[in-house]
Amino acid sequence: MLISLSRLTYICIIKVRTETSPEDVGGMHAAVGILTARGGMTSHAAVVARGWGKCCISGCSEIQVNDTNKVLVVGNKAISEGEWLSLNGSTGEVILGKEPLSPPALSGDLEIFMSWADNIRRLKVMANADTPEDALAARNNGAEGIGLCRTEHMVVYTFSLRLPVTIRLLDPPLHEFLPEGDLEQIVNELASETGMAEDEVFSRIEKLSEVNPMLGFRGCRLGISYPELTEMQARAIFQAAVSMSNQGIAVLPEIMELGHQVSLIREVATKVFSEMGSSLKYKVGTMIEIPRAALIADEIAKEAEFFSFGTNDLTQMTFGYSRDDVGKFLPVYLSKGILQTDPFVVLDQKGVGQLIKLATEKGRAARPSLKVGICGEHGGEPSSVAYFAEAGLDYVSCSPFRVPIARLAAAQVAV
């Protein structure tokens, strides 16, 4: 697909950043294409764009982005905001100027063919979705529920009619939620609004900075350190679920959190159900994203009612590769035959795959009814889907626009 940037319209814009964070989601949603200097297949920009069906090129290391002057520099060429730029998401080309667009087209016979595939497959296919638009696209593409909804983006319930919605509580490092811009001006505004001294605000910002944030203060560590974060999110989820249920839209919320937080979540559920005079069924489970969690899956399963393997981070942690920097050396590994495929695209069955199998076996030994699935981008890659089906997983969850691929791959392995 080719996307262009025009000074004449706000409809066709490309968001260009060094790298994206949750703060950029609004702008990313408004854009028709996304270009970043850092990142890769499973970076924030790539994952979010793929979920929305947007053209995205991430990890274009040849570009330099000057946010202050709103200029993109490539070699000795400077491209200012408003100039035409085109992206070819299939080839990864960034093209200067306006190119003709090639919108995707589907055959009218596709749904008939896909219904045959659905009658054969055992593996369920769900979708990663954060907005009503994502959920609608997922449902139209045949998704059987939401396998990953991130609270830092948006909770979706309008999608569900007796279908599960699996919600991951706040995951990104807190510093990603800090506003960007002139630090002194930001501190001055925060101090004025909160009544705190500027030195205290500076101190708090400094404490949030991390050398390696992806391995730092994020995920369940936030909830353990600040239980009120978990309580606030859980309360919002249960209130929304009950409200939808009262409107005739039945939902089955599944909250992903570590065992330390389970009792708190259940306490919040009890309070909300009592306050609203209604209750509903729900599950509390956990993501398995680090090797140690896979190795002690039997202990985790004593509390968790389901496992969701976050294969993007599990791959990163198993290989010790930064998924945002892997583009600097992975092409060399592939060209020299050290790796046969990009492990962030195709599941590493010898390493990461074995961890998934082991964790599934140990988890179900401790809790036979354990529901197991994956919510990484491998859920839309055919050979990976086949592996998950053969490993006995219950479902895969992928970006809405990759759901048909996963449905077909799940059927192929069942034949």
Q: Which residues contact 335 (CB under 8 A, 6 or more apart)?
A: none
> What are the C-alpha distances in Å from 312 to residues 40, 75, 239?
11, 32, 31
Q: Kindly give, in sequence order, each residue whose CB lies less than 8 Å from that of residue 224, ignoring residues fewer than 6 positions away.
A: 258, 260, 261
Q: What is the DSSP track for 339-392?
A: -SS-TTTS--TTTHHHHHHHHHHHHHHH-TT-EEEE-SGGGGSHHHHHHHHHTT
To the question of pTM greater than 0.85 for the whole model, the response is: no
Tell me which architecture the domain covering 14-96 has in CATH: 3-Layer(bba) Sandwich (3.50)
Whole-number Å distance between alpha carbons of 73 and 233:
41
Residue ranges with strand state E in 89-185 = 93-96, 124-128, 146-150, 163-168
Is 12 among the residues known to form the active site? no
The more confidently predicted of residues 384 and 254 is 384
Residues 6+ apart with CB under 8 A from 240: 155, 157
Q: Which of 180-184, 297-301, 327-331 has the lowest mean pLDDT?
A: 180-184
Confidence band, pLDDT 50/70/90 cuts, at residue 219: confident
Residue-wise pLDDT for 287-323, tens only, equals 999 999 999 999 999 999 999 999 999 999 999 998 8
- Alpha-carbon distance of 220 to 256, in angstroms, equals 9
Distances (CA, A) of 99 to 46, 47, 361: 22, 25, 52
Domain 108-173+216-413, CATH among 3.40.50.300, 2.10.69.10, 3.30.499.10, 3.20.20.60: 3.20.20.60
Give per-residue burial for 294-330: e unless 16+ CB within 10 Å, then b: beebbebbebbbbbbbbbbbbbbbbbebebbebbeeb
Q: How confident is the model at residue 3 (pLDDT cuts 50, 70, 90)?
A: very low
What lies within 8 Å, CB to CB, of 14 at 6+ separation is 3, 4, 5, 31, 32, 33, 34, 35, 85, 87
Q: Across residues 2-6, what is the average pLDDT? A: 41
Q: What is the mean pLDDT of residues 238-247?
A: 87
pLDDT at 155 over 70: no
Structure confidence at residue 220 (pLDDT): 85
Q: Answer yes or no: 44 catalytic.
A: yes
Residue 51 is predicted with a pLDDT of 67
Give me the residue spans of the domains in the chain.
Answer: 14-96, 108-173+216-413, 176-206
Q: How far apart are the first and last CA of the chain?
A: 33
Q: Above 60 in pLDDT, residue 340?
A: yes
Q: Name the band, by pLDDT with cuts 50, 70 and 90, for residue 210.
A: confident
| Choice among 55, 56, 220, 375 that is catalytic | 375
